[in-house]
Amino acid sequence: MIIDCAHYQDGRRTDEDPMSVQEAAALSAQGGFVWLGLFEPGEEELAQVRDTFGLHELAVEDALNIHMRPKIENYEPDVQLVILRTARYDDAAEEVEFGEISLFLAPTFVITVRQGVASELRGARQRLELLATGSASALWAILDEVVDDYAPVVAGLERDIDQIEATVFSGAAAPTERIYSLRREATDFYRAVHPLIGVTGSAERMVNKKLRHYLRDVRDHLLTVDEEVAAQRDLLGSILEANMAVLSVEQTAISVQQNSTIEQLTILATVFLPLTFVTGFFGQNFGWLVGHIAGAAAFVVYGIGGLLLPLVLLFSWLRLRARPRRGDQPDPARVQP
């Protein structure tokens, strides 16, 4: 879909109303350049643009596909293809939404093909009028707009990282999945930002001296963003390690509590094991037991005594095992004062 098509002469738009591609191409032959803006065009629409401006078929194929890294290619002696990755941060989903701008740059035309979530280029068209340096000034205006849109993404990531950092270092465990997700978003954003440094360096060598200063300013802003994103990615790695340490401490506390519970249950089971044996033995319905054990005295001797005796023996055995052995005791002569 064509968003805007205009002819520029000496950095000024010659007509406020959009014109057709053929009209703009005809005017560019008389001087100035055409800026054609497309948003997610189809193959037929882009094929028409290719035939009108004589674009290379491989360059058009690149514009139709989504790339993971920015790049700059020379397809003709005076035609360059510059691919930029745009970014926008979604605070609700804590995700970085990426888009792409493919820029065909020639002395007589500038063609921008936007895919996905892309930067608004209306401001770039207004910046273009500040410099009357031909079509190369459109490259600066678009780069400046894209890099400026990186700043809110850095700020959004910074807010979420601060929240996670405060949670982890307060002693509470943060959701590990959230940390992984933010680190993946920071890594993807770094892949969009870092290669653009080389693209801006190549663009500086393509333009005249006047425009080179403006591109160098864009590159300085881009380096700042690159350093901040790299620092965020490293910080998220440290937060992840700290979070795993907090989780390990919590798991250790749970294990200690479980061991204490198991120890108590083991003591109860140890105590009731001989009692269960005694009551089970005397609960058998053999004739001798039924006929010879009767009366209160027999109950006290065999019943109560049969329960107390194993308890006394068990208590004595446990005390004996709890005493330190002679070989385990330290030698007083070797103990330093």
Write out the chain's pLDDT in tens, 337 residues. 777 788 877 767 777 777 787 887 787 777 778 888 888 888 888 888 888 888 888 888 888 887 778 888 888 778 889 999 999 988 888 889 998 998 998 888 888 888 887 666 666 666 665 555 678 888 888 898 899 999 999 999 999 999 888 888 776 766 888 888 899 999 999 999 999 999 898 888 877 787 888 889 999 999 999 999 999 999 998 888 888 877 777 778 788 888 888 888 887 887 788 778 777 777 777 777 667 677 777 777 777 777 788 888 888 887 887 776 655 555 555 545 4
pLDDT on residue 153: 93
pLDDT on residue 337: 46
Longest dimension (CA), the chain: 130
pLDDT on residue 229: 94
Q: Return the amino acid letter for 327.
A: G
pLDDT on residue 159: 92
The C-alpha angle 300, 306, 308, rounded to 5 degrees, equals: 90
CB 131 within 8 A of CB 137: yes
Spatial distance between the Cα atoms of 37 and 295, rounded to a whole number of angstroms: 109
Look at domain 2-248 and name its CATH class.
alpha beta
- Give the Cβ contact number of residue 95 at 10 Å: 16
Q: Return the amino acid letter for 97.
A: E
Spatial distance between the Cα atoms of 272 and 270, rounded to a whole number of angstroms: 6
pLDDT on residue 56: 86
Spatial distance between the Cα atoms of 147 and 89, rounded to a whole number of angstroms: 14
pLDDT on residue 305: 79
Bridge partners of residue 105, in order along the sequence: 80, 110
Spatial distance between the Cα atoms of 42 and 45, rounded to a whole number of angstroms: 5
Q: How far apart are the first and last CA of the chain?
A: 90
pLDDT on residue 226: 94
Spatial distance between the Cα atoms of 156 and 192, rounded to a whole number of angstroms: 16
Closest CA to 164 of 185, 193, 149, 188: 185
pLDDT on residue 335: 46
pLDDT on residue 173: 66
pLDDT on residue 126: 61
- Structure-token match 């004739």, residue found: 287
